[in-house]
Amino acid sequence: MTVLEIVKAQLDTSLSDDRLEMYIDEVGQAIKTFCNREDVPDELRYVHANMVVDLVRLRQKNTPDAEPAVQSIKEGDVQITFTTHEKSQGETEVESVVHSYKNVLYKFRKMRW
Protein backbone atom coordinates (compact mmCIF):
# COMPACT_ATOMS: atom_id res chain seq x y z
CA MET A 1 0.00 0.00 0.00
CA THR A 2 1.13 3.52 -0.70
CA VAL A 3 1.07 6.29 1.88
CA LEU A 4 -1.87 7.90 0.03
CA GLU A 5 -3.91 4.67 0.19
CA ILE A 6 -3.19 4.29 3.92
CA VAL A 7 -4.17 7.91 4.61
CA LYS A 8 -7.40 7.61 2.62
CA ALA A 9 -8.28 4.39 4.46
CA GLN A 10 -7.82 6.07 7.84
CA LEU A 11 -9.60 9.35 7.09
CA ASP A 12 -13.23 10.10 6.40
CA THR A 13 -12.66 13.37 4.61
CA SER A 14 -13.67 15.17 1.47
CA LEU A 15 -10.11 16.34 0.74
CA SER A 16 -8.94 15.82 -2.82
CA ASP A 17 -6.07 13.48 -3.69
CA ASP A 18 -4.01 16.51 -4.70
CA ARG A 19 -4.47 18.09 -1.27
CA LEU A 20 -3.59 14.82 0.47
CA GLU A 21 -0.50 14.46 -1.76
CA MET A 22 0.54 17.96 -0.70
CA TYR A 23 0.25 16.97 2.98
CA ILE A 24 2.16 13.74 2.27
CA ASP A 25 4.96 15.70 0.59
CA GLU A 26 5.03 18.25 3.42
CA VAL A 27 5.34 15.58 6.11
CA GLY A 28 7.83 13.67 3.97
CA GLN A 29 10.04 16.75 3.76
CA ALA A 30 9.80 17.22 7.52
CA ILE A 31 10.87 13.58 8.03
CA LYS A 32 13.82 14.03 5.65
CA THR A 33 14.89 17.22 7.42
CA PHE A 34 14.58 15.74 10.90
CA CYS A 35 16.39 12.53 9.96
CA ASN A 36 19.08 14.23 7.82
CA ARG A 37 18.17 12.00 4.88
CA GLU A 38 17.47 12.40 1.19
CA ASP A 39 14.72 9.77 1.24
CA VAL A 40 11.94 8.51 3.47
CA PRO A 41 12.73 4.87 4.30
CA ASP A 42 10.08 2.34 3.28
CA GLU A 43 10.00 1.10 6.88
CA LEU A 44 8.50 4.48 7.85
CA ARG A 45 5.56 4.16 5.43
CA TYR A 46 2.94 3.61 8.16
CA VAL A 47 4.53 6.17 10.46
CA HIS A 48 4.54 8.64 7.55
CA ALA A 49 0.84 7.93 6.91
CA ASN A 50 -0.07 8.30 10.59
CA MET A 51 1.79 11.61 10.73
CA VAL A 52 -0.19 12.86 7.69
CA VAL A 53 -3.47 11.78 9.32
CA ASP A 54 -2.50 13.66 12.50
CA LEU A 55 -1.61 16.75 10.47
CA VAL A 56 -4.91 16.68 8.56
CA ARG A 57 -6.91 16.31 11.78
CA LEU A 58 -4.93 19.08 13.44
CA ARG A 59 -5.47 21.44 10.51
CA GLN A 60 -9.19 20.63 10.33
CA LYS A 61 -9.47 21.41 14.04
CA ASN A 62 -7.62 24.72 13.57
CA THR A 63 -9.51 26.03 10.53
CA PRO A 64 -10.33 29.77 10.65
CA ASP A 65 -14.05 28.96 10.42
CA ALA A 66 -13.91 26.86 13.57
CA GLU A 67 -15.18 28.40 16.78
CA PRO A 68 -12.31 29.93 18.74
CA ALA A 69 -11.26 28.13 21.91
CA VAL A 70 -11.50 29.95 25.21
CA GLN A 71 -8.05 30.77 26.57
CA SER A 72 -9.05 32.33 29.90
CA ILE A 73 -12.10 33.54 31.84
CA LYS A 74 -12.13 36.13 34.64
CA GLU A 75 -15.26 36.39 36.75
CA GLY A 76 -14.99 39.87 38.31
CA ASP A 77 -16.09 42.30 35.55
CA VAL A 78 -16.54 39.32 33.24
CA GLN A 79 -13.71 38.98 30.74
CA ILE A 80 -13.24 36.14 28.23
CA THR A 81 -10.07 35.74 26.16
CA PHE A 82 -10.11 33.57 23.04
CA THR A 83 -7.15 31.91 21.38
CA THR A 84 -5.90 33.40 18.14
CA HIS A 85 -4.30 31.75 15.15
CA GLU A 86 -0.72 32.71 14.34
CA LYS A 87 0.46 33.38 10.79
CA SER A 88 3.15 30.70 11.19
CA GLN A 89 0.53 28.11 12.15
CA GLY A 90 1.54 25.72 9.35
CA GLU A 91 5.08 25.43 10.62
CA THR A 92 4.06 24.87 14.20
CA GLU A 93 1.54 22.19 13.21
CA VAL A 94 4.10 20.20 11.24
CA GLU A 95 6.69 20.67 13.97
CA SER A 96 4.26 19.42 16.62
CA VAL A 97 3.47 16.32 14.54
CA VAL A 98 7.20 15.60 14.03
CA HIS A 99 7.77 16.14 17.75
CA SER A 100 5.07 13.56 18.54
CA TYR A 101 6.89 10.93 16.47
CA LYS A 102 10.49 11.86 17.25
CA ASN A 103 11.20 8.67 19.24
CA VAL A 104 10.39 6.57 16.16
CA LEU A 105 12.21 8.93 13.80
CA TYR A 106 15.40 8.88 15.89
CA LYS A 107 15.93 5.26 14.82
CA PHE A 108 16.25 6.38 11.18
CA ARG A 109 18.28 9.53 11.78
CA LYS A 110 21.65 9.93 10.09
CA MET A 111 24.52 11.84 11.61
CA ARG A 112 26.01 14.90 9.90
CA TRP A 113 29.76 15.39 9.76
User: Can you spell out the DSSP letters for the chain?
Assistant: --HHHHHHHH------HHHHHHHHHHHHHHHHHHHT-SS--GGGHHHHHHHHHHHHHHHHHT-TTSPPPEEEEETTTTEEEE----TTHHHHHHHHHHHHTHHHHGGG-----
**Mean pLDDT value across the chain:** 85
Tens digit of pLDDT for each residue in 21-66? 999 999 999 999 999 999 999 999 999 999 999 999 998 886 655 5
Alpha-carbon distance 56 to 46, whole Å? 15
pTM of the model: 0.74
- Write down the pLDDT at residue 63: 62
Alpha-carbon distance 32 to 30, whole Å? 5
- In this structure, what are the phi and psi dihedrals at residue 37, rounded to the nearest 5 degrees? -125, 165
What pLDDT band is residue 76 in, cutting at 50, 70 and 90?
A: confident
